[in-house]
Structure 1
Amino acid sequence: MKNILEVKDLHISFHTFAGEVQAIRGVNFELKKGETLAIVGESGSGKSVTTKAIMRLLPPGNSEIKQGEILFDGKDLAKLNDRQMQKVRGKDISMIFQDPMTSLNPTMTVGKQIMEPLIKHQNMSQSAAKERVIQLLKLVGIPNPDQRFKQYPHQFSGGMRQRVVIAIALACNPKVLIADEPTTALDVTIQAQILELMKDLQKKIDTSIIFITHDLGVVANVADRVAVMYGGKIVEIGTVDEIFYNPQHPYTWGLISSMPSLDAKDEELYAIPGTPPNLLNPPKGDAFAPRNEYAMQIDLEEQPPMFKVSDTHFAATWLLHPDAPKVEPPAAVLKRMKQFNRAKK
């Protein structure tokens, strides 16, 4: 399958009063046509910074793409100027943000806000754009679209506002859709509806999706492949089945162990000990070593390379080195793997 987007050796820094924060430290991944890639990890791992760099939405002045390429349609987005990027943003690559209320203009009707990208990027007339907006509102499941077209964001519920934001993102049939934790601000039932809607829309418009989340439970339902991020790096990447049924990195084990389970009765919820690394002064070795109960001396001295587990599965942990001791995933991970198997059947 053809790659629609490739991120190669991406390094991003923020220049602050305290010094240089090395937020992204050599990220590599590709997105294939029509697939959903989930990027998971704790807050501060670099998920949103990576995708905002693709959209070129990093704050000007104190952020810098120090190294690397973001290849889309034969162009390196990292090298485009603002005017060139405006032709890509919203048309070929769109983004759904976490909080719909901060994504929408409270002073404009919902209809006008969805019309904007159609008029700017598709050169549609007002009447043609209005007709398309009505279709989009229907497509994302908003009832009475003719009436809703004239209403303001405050007249919509949280779930309906997120549907409006999705309609804006899909207006120009983008080739890549980036969803930055689009269900975090919503309750569980609305969350499920939005996820189902996104899966359905992907089939209809044949777009590729990058889905950012810290919730591995969401990933199982929406993703084809999963990239696990920690300390500004991808530490494991593979198909959704490989990550859930054969996880290799101790950090991935920690994330899986910390997933709440309906089977648990008096079981204490697991939390990964310690805190993420300070990227003002990144560690010399594996960034996860201080929190890793399986860490070896080499973890403190040298960053592990990406070891190949299969043609589609790679993990950056010294435990995969031929000379490393054999370590089984912890009991909590093995238990979750059995639960995933039961749920799948």
Structure 2
Amino acid sequence: MKKILEVKDLHVSFNTHNGIVKAIRGVSFDLYKGETLAIVGESGSGKSVTTKVLMGILAKNEVIEKGEILFEGKDLTKISNKEITNIRGKEIAMIFQDPMTSLNPTMTVGYQIAESIMEHQKLSKSQAKEKAIELIQLVGINEPEKRYKQYPHQLSGGMRQRIVIAIALACNPKILIADEPTTALDVTIQAQILDLIKEIQNKIGLSIIFITHDLGVVANIADRVAIMYAGKIIEYGTSEEIFYHPQHPYTWGLLASVPDMANQQNELYAIPGTPPNMLYPPKGDAFALRSDYALKIDFEEEPPFFKVSDTHYAATWLLHEKAPKIQMPKVLKDRIEMMKKEVALNAC
């Protein structure tokens, strides 16, 4: 597959009244044409900051300390504001998690789609309207001509999110960033939106970066998964490798936290403790204080990436040849078996 985006050793910090927050600490990943890469982690892990850098929408107190973001031969960290503005929306588009904050309540949803088309594609008002109606239909909304004239408050939450997707697709972007796009929706609508994103991707060959805190959400949508914790990617691999053969204790915790809908009597697992304060990044493995499997070296030295397969790597000392052999916890084994069954059912 053709590589469309390459992030290399990205470091981002926030200047605050209390000091410097090390939000992103050496993040690297690739995105290939037509694939979906899911970036998964708790709130504060650095997922959304990474995508803000890609979109060129950092706040004044947010600073790129070093690193490269290569898109079609250009380093997005070094181009002018004008150049990044031309790329944003047209080449790289984004869906935000709350459609009500993404849409202007004083404008019809159709005009909001058409406005983006006129801005980036320089089409006439009538041409833009025609394309906007086509996009409303593409995202699965019936009676598109009628919906074109309606305001956000006249649509359901699921329909509003479909309109946000239509706006993101208005300029035929090459990369779509979906930042927690289903968080504000109920489970049924959530599944519909995920199916819609996958369907549109197959139609037009989009590359997607999917941001979420919930591993269960990406089970049927992601080709590859990157697990983030404390500003770093700590494990990455194909979707199957991450779901069925996880290696990092943090990934174990995320998977064990996925609710078992088939057996609601089971107690919901939660990872103990809280993420570290990134004003004072911890020494060694940032997850060590929350891990039942931490070794002495985890508190002294940061683990490198260990190769599990050609596509699967994890930064945990448990993979060192001298580390003790740890059995995967039973709650995680149960969740993996549950997810395998769910994936098989969804494939039918």
Normalising by structure 1, we get a TM-score of: 0.98
Give the superposition deviation at 1:335: 1.4
Which one-letter code corresponds to 1:14 in the other structure? F
| Separation in structure 1 between the aligned mates of residue 266 and residue 126 of structure 2, nearest angstrom | 59
Aligned to 2:27: 27
Aligned to 2:91: 92
Aligned to 2:82: 83
| Separation in structure 1 between the aligned mates of residue 120 and residue 93 of structure 2, nearest angstrom | 12
Aligned to 2:5: 5
| Separation in structure 1 between the aligned mates of residue 333 and residue 128 of structure 2, nearest angstrom | 53
Give the superposition deviation at 1:324: 0.8
Give the superposition deviation at 1:256: 0.7
Aligned to 1:305: 304
Which one-letter code corresponds to 2:3 in the other structure? N
Aligned to 2:55: 55
Q: Count the aligned residue pairs.
A: 344
Q: Is the 8 A contact 2:105 2:153 kept in 1?
A: yes
Q: 1:203-253, CA deviations, whole angstroms, 9 ceiling, x for partnerless residues?
A: 111100001111111110111110000000001000010001100000000
Aligned to 1:278: 277
Map 1:94-133 → 2, pairs under 5 A: 94-133=93-132
Q: Does 1:188 align with 2:184?
A: no
Q: 1:169-194, CA deviations, whole angstroms, 9 ceiling, x for partnerless residues?
A: 00111100000000000111111111
**Which range moves more in the overlay, 260-269 or 130-139?**
260-269
Aligned to 1:171: 170
Q: Does 1:255 align with 2:254?
A: yes
| Separation in structure 2 between the aligned mates of residue 16 and residue 307 of structure 1, nearest angstrom | 35
Aligned to 1:317: 316
SS in 1 for 2:137: helix
Q: Is the 8 A contact 2:177 2:210 kept in 1?
A: yes
Which one-letter code corresponds to 2:138 in the other structure? L
Normalising by structure 2, we get a TM-score of: 0.97
Q: What RMSD, in angstroms, separates the aligned Cα atoms of the two structures?
A: 1.0
SS in 1 for 2:77: helix
**Which range moves more in the overlay, 257-266 or 192-201?**
257-266
| Separation in structure 2 between the aligned mates of residue 45 and residue 220 of structure 1, nearest angstrom | 20
Aligned to 2:40: 40
Give the superposition deviation at 1:55: 0.3
| Separation in structure 2 between the aligned mates of residue 151 and residue 266 of structure 1, nearest angstrom | 44
| Separation in structure 1 between the aligned mates of residue 256 and residue 147 of structure 2, nearest angstrom | 43
SS in 2 for 1:274: coil
Give identity over the alignment, percent.
Answer: 68
Map 1:187-266 → 2, pairs under 5 A: 187-266=186-265
Which one-letter code corresponds to 2:143 in the other structure? N
Give the superposition deviation at 1:279: 0.2
Give the superposition deviation at 1:266: 3.0
| Separation in structure 2 between the aligned mates of residue 268 and residue 104 of structure 1, nearest angstrom | 39
| Separation in structure 1 between the aligned mates of residue 161 and residue 264 of structure 2, nearest angstrom | 34
Which one-letter code corresponds to 2:12 in the other structure? I
| Separation in structure 1 between the aligned mates of residue 342 and residue 109 of structure 2, nearest angstrom | 39
| Separation in structure 1 between the aligned mates of residue 337 and residue 130 of structure 2, nearest angstrom | 50
Find runs of 4+ consecutive structure 1 residues off by over 6 angstroms.
none
| Separation in structure 2 between the aligned mates of residue 43 and residue 253 of structure 1, nearest angstrom | 17
Q: Is the 8 A contact 2:216 2:255 kept in 1?
A: no
SS in 1 for 2:120: helix
| Separation in structure 1 between the aligned mates of residue 263 and residue 270 of structure 2, nearest angstrom | 15
SS in 2 for 1:222: coil
Give the superposition deviation at 1:82: 1.2
Q: 1:119-178, CA deviations, whole angstroms, 9 ceiling, x for partnerless residues?
A: 121111111111100100100111111121111111111111101100000011110000
Which one-letter code corresponds to 1:175 in the other structure? K
| Separation in structure 2 between the aligned mates of residue 201 and residue 101 of structure 1, nearest angstrom | 22
Gaps of 5+ in 1: none
SS in 2 for 1:177: strand
Which one-letter code corresponds to 1:27 in the other structure? V
Q: Is the 8 A contact 2:34 2:207 kept in 1?
A: yes
